[in-house]
Amino acid sequence: MPVPAQILAAIRQPAFAYLADGGIGAANDRAEALAGGPLAGMTSADVIACFLVRHRDGPGVAPSDLPAARALAGEEAVDVPLTITAAGGRTMHVLATASPIRDGDRVAGALSIWQDVTGEVEAARALAAQSDALQGREEEIAAQNEELRCQRGELREQSDTLRESEAKYRGLVDLAPDGVVVHERGVIRYANPAAARLLRATAPDALVGTNILELVHPDDRTTGSSRVDTVHDRSQTTPLWEFRFMIDGEVIPADAVAGPVTWEGAPAVQVVLRDITARKRAEAALGESEARHRRLFETMLQGVVYQDTEGMIVGMNPAAEQILGKSPAEFLGGSSVGEERHTLREDGTPFPGLEHPAMVALRTGEAVRDVVMGVYNPRDRAHRWISVTAVPLFHPGETAPYQVYTLFADITERKRMGEALRESDARQGFLVRLNDALAPLADPAGVQAEAARVLGEHLGADRVAYFEVDDGDYVVEHDYAPSVPRIAGRHPIDSFGPRLLAVYRSGTTAVGDDVEADPDLSPDEKAGFAAIQIRAYIGVPLVKAGAFVAGLAVHTQRPRAWTPAEVSLVEKTAERTWAAVERAKAETALRESERRFRSVLDHSLDALYRLNLRTGRYEYVSPAFDRAVGRTAEEMLSRAAEEAKGWVHPNDLPVVEAAVAQLEETGATEVDYRVRDRDGRYRRVSNHLSLVRDGSGRPLYRDGIVRDVTGQKEAEEALREYAENLQRSNEDLQRFAYVASHDLQEPLRSVVSFSQLLERRYGGQLGPDADEYIDFIVEGGNRMQSLILDLLAFSRVNTTRQQIARTDAEDVLAEAVRSLDLSLREADATLTHDSLPVVMADPTQLAQVFSNLVSNAVKFRRPDAPLQVHVGARRLDGVWEFSVSDNGIGIAPEYFDRIFVIFQRLHTKETYPGTGIGLAIVKRIIDRHDGTIRVESTPGEGSTFFFTLPAA
């Protein structure tokens, strides 16, 4: 991930952007100015060679020592002291800082910044030199003061000699580097050139007559006056003290020693002054540097520990306390020797104290870098992993270190992430192998077997089994079991045991490290595990849509502490195996469906085709095309659609084109037209067209279902003619009914009436034959009259307009029964009924239905049993189904359909009189109510007629 150019340009120090491979991707102008040219493309080795990079006051660095290298490894590197040589040969001291640039969890590069501290380093060195020089001067002054005190007595005794040598002394004082001032009660009587320079006077004489206290800083005047008084009053030399002058607003710090002298015969005070401005500046710089380093020491994220030559800890920073989990009080005075049980190597073995980096550095006098070790943190009750660098410290001129400085960073998280990354890489590698193994398999059982094998080999398991739940069993098609008995087959699901089965049904993964040591398992459950040699296991249930449908089990013969990574891997394998099995099942079902669909298409009586609208050619044509259109599938597939259009009858082509155009809007349509077969004859076909679009809505295919309707059209024509004939027949029937009701009944009534009159008047007078003939005439007339009445009733069902309304069936039945009361009493019949509903029906016609069915029950009763008739009803979907049951003679099953046909009789008129029209009337009424009628019967036991009417 490159660092944006504007960010690099905004950094005021030299800045370098490293790529993940260690090369420089970009650098800002300040960095390239140091190098004297572009830096992009340079490696770490190139950077070291370009700048002659080396440790501060030490040897050159390796590429891995550069802060950028540590940042590319994921660490922060802060203020690493380095010395470089810039373009033109200029030596510079820098503090290098580098930070990793991350892209998610991945280190994608690093940003390194060099802070120029050349001035600070040189100032610190100058300050150190000045401090040494000042210390020497202080010792010299102290010796001089001592010498002056020794000589003071001699001076008193030899005042004459002193006066003689005054000129010589003054000459020496004038040349002294320190300022010398002689004053009486503060008034300056003498000042040497050094004092004039210190007090910013143009010449020594310019100070004569000036009160020295007026030149002293106001805050220091009281102390200065007291010191002067002490010398005057007690003739004592003052100890060295520090005070400040203020001249024209400038503060000048100085060290001073004052003592009594005689000047021109009068007591005076001599003050020796030393300008300590440079020293103060050096001390301030040194204090600031120490404070900065103290802040860094106390706030840095890395732990720091100092140990003496014996390895005893003499200092540590707060970060060390946090990382190591102990306070300074617990650490100070202790040593790493003997702490083997608390420290580990990377391989998990104890790390002997004498081999710790600090002890090795003390022993060898050489730095020990980047040693990884685990240290037990008692606060966390866990090991922290640290990267340790130990550097021995030497006094100037000595070859044995007096102390060792140990710097360490907490890399626990980095190590954990590294281990997680390795585990993730291993897991992903396994899942890739699993996918590669399962992808080509089409058989669900083969997928289960291969998944079990791959997982078992990866985990070193003794058995792996994928199972599916089927009703009350679980089924293992194939299991991987290299060292234990196989369990493939069907097993009762209860054999899991109540505890494990409950866990599975909840969708929770079950993990057992040692079933024999599990206190929650019953003896029976432990015995069940032992029977199939299971000591440790992972069981992953697959719960889909709330149902336990499958699972994956991993078994070992020995106890095993399963890691979270292993459990997660088994869970992922279970899900992927389920997906692969379902995919294989779906593909198998799809292939079977495609095979069946292809078979249906190939054997369909209709001709089917698919036209690719982008190529204009047919992609599929069913074999039925030859039968329906008179063109073979091969012929259709070899031609473009435009060529096939030429077979359409010219008069029908506009209709076809209009239907195709309509597809764009409707998506489906049907068109009839004529098409020419290969023999030149035209056939009439019906083509049902549908449009198939792609995901963006563009037309992709045009599908068609073609049927030869030549015969259908001929049948339709015949049907039309039949309908016309039927219409004429119905009209004739209606005319007949009219004639029967008017013209036929009148002469028939006359014949019957006069025959009955003849029988009454001349019965028994004309002889037996005549009486019989008269009976024949009367009986025939009555039958003829009944037939005409029934025909009229049958005709009226169709010709009379229905009065459909909410009708109470119970009221209608009561009315029908009243009209049949006499015949029911004569038959000694019992009629019962359920509570009957309200329906949508014509009340008059419904009464006809009840009347006909009950009359039939009376007519066809058994002579040896009292007649029982029952009318019931039950609610079905949107209709009421009525039933009329009797215990009469019954009907044979082969006559169930025949009895509803007009004029069909099952018995002779002598046995059971009637016209054979009653049930035909009933069926016609029910049909006109959009209902159904049927019969169930057993000969000799009775019959039940069922019919339906719309619910109200």
For 346-488, where are the E strands, in sequence order? 368-377, 382-393, 403-410, 463-470, 473-480
Query: What are residue 681's phi and psi, to 5 degrees?
Result: -90, 145
Check pLDDT > 70 for residue 455.
yes
Taking the C-alpha atoms of residue 589 and residue 442, their distance in angstroms, rounded to an integer, is: 11
Mention every residue, 6+ apart, whose C-beta is less than 8 A from residue 27.
Answer: 8, 14, 15, 16, 17, 35, 38, 39, 40
Q: Which domains does the chain have, with CATH numbers?
A: 5-116 (3.30.450.20), 133-282 (3.30.450.20), 302-410 (3.30.450.20), 440-590 (3.30.450.40), 604-704 (3.30.450.20), 709-799 (1.10.287), 801-950 (3.30.565.10)
Q: Sheet containing 668-676: which strands, arranged edge to edge?
A: 617-621, 607-612, 699-708, 682-693, 668-676
The DSSP bridge partners found for residue 469 are: 474
For 602-677, where are the E strands, in sequence order? 607-612, 617-621, 668-676
Average pLDDT score over residue span 820-825? 88
Supply the pLDDT for residue 165: 47
Check pLDDT > 90 for residue 716.
no
- The CA–CA distances, whole Å, from 946 to 605, 836, 922, 931 equal 38, 14, 11, 10
The DSSP bridge partners found for residue 84 are: 92
Check pLDDT > 50 for residue 138.
yes
State the number of CA atoms in the 13 A half-sphere of 714 facing the CB. 5
The percent of residues above 70 in pLDDT, for the chain, comes to 85
Distance of CA 172 to the CA centre of its chain: 93
| Residue with the two structure tokens 């009379």 | 800
* 649 within 8 A of 674, measured Cβ to Cβ: yes
The model's pLDDT over 632-654, given as tens digits with 9 standing for 90+, comes to 888 888 888 888 888 999 999 99
DSSP string, 454-516: HHHHHHT-SEEEEEEEETTEEEEEEEE-SSS----EEEEGGGG-HHHHHHHHTTPPEEES-GG
Taking the C-alpha atoms of residue 139 and residue 255, their distance in angstroms, rounded to an integer, is: 13
Q: Is the dihedral of CA 279, 284, 289, 293 positive or negative?
A: positive
Taking the C-alpha atoms of residue 702 and residue 657, their distance in angstroms, rounded to an integer, is: 13
DSSP string, 851-901: HHHHHHHHHT--TTS--EEEEEEEE-SSEEEEEEEE-SS---GGGTTGGGS
Taking the C-alpha atoms of residue 278 and residue 256, their distance in angstroms, rounded to an integer, is: 16
The percent of residues above 90 in pLDDT, for the chain, comes to 33
Where residue 632 falls (left for φ over 0; alpha for ψ -120 to 50; beta otherwise) is beta
Which pTM does this prediction carry? 0.36
Residue 453 host element (H or E): helix 444-459
The model's pLDDT over 721-748, given as tens digits with 9 standing for 90+, comes to 887 876 776 666 666 666 655 566 666 6
The DSSP bridge partners found for residue 355 are: none
Q: Which pLDDT band holds residue 833 (cuts at 50, 70, 90)?
A: very high
- If one compares 7 and 823, the residue with the highest pLDDT of the two is 823
CA angle 340, 343, 348 (to 5 degrees): 105
The model's pLDDT over 610-622, given as tens digits with 9 standing for 90+, comes to 999 989 999 888 8
Break the chain down into helix, strand, coil percent, rounded to 5: 45, 30, 25
Mean of all residue pLDDT scores within the chain: 84
Query: What are residue 585's phi and psi, to 5 degrees?
Result: -65, -45
DSSP string, 142-174: HHHHHHHHHHHHHHHHTHHHHHHTHHHHHHHHH
Mention every residue, 6+ apart, whose C-beta is less than 8 A from residue 25.
Answer: 2, 3, 17, 18, 19, 40, 109
Q: Is the dihedral of CA 708, 712, 717, 720 positive or negative?
A: negative
Q: CB neighbours (10 Å) of residue 745?
A: 16
Q: What is the DSSP letter of 528?
A: H
Closest C-alpha to 311, from 226, 411, 390, 198: 390
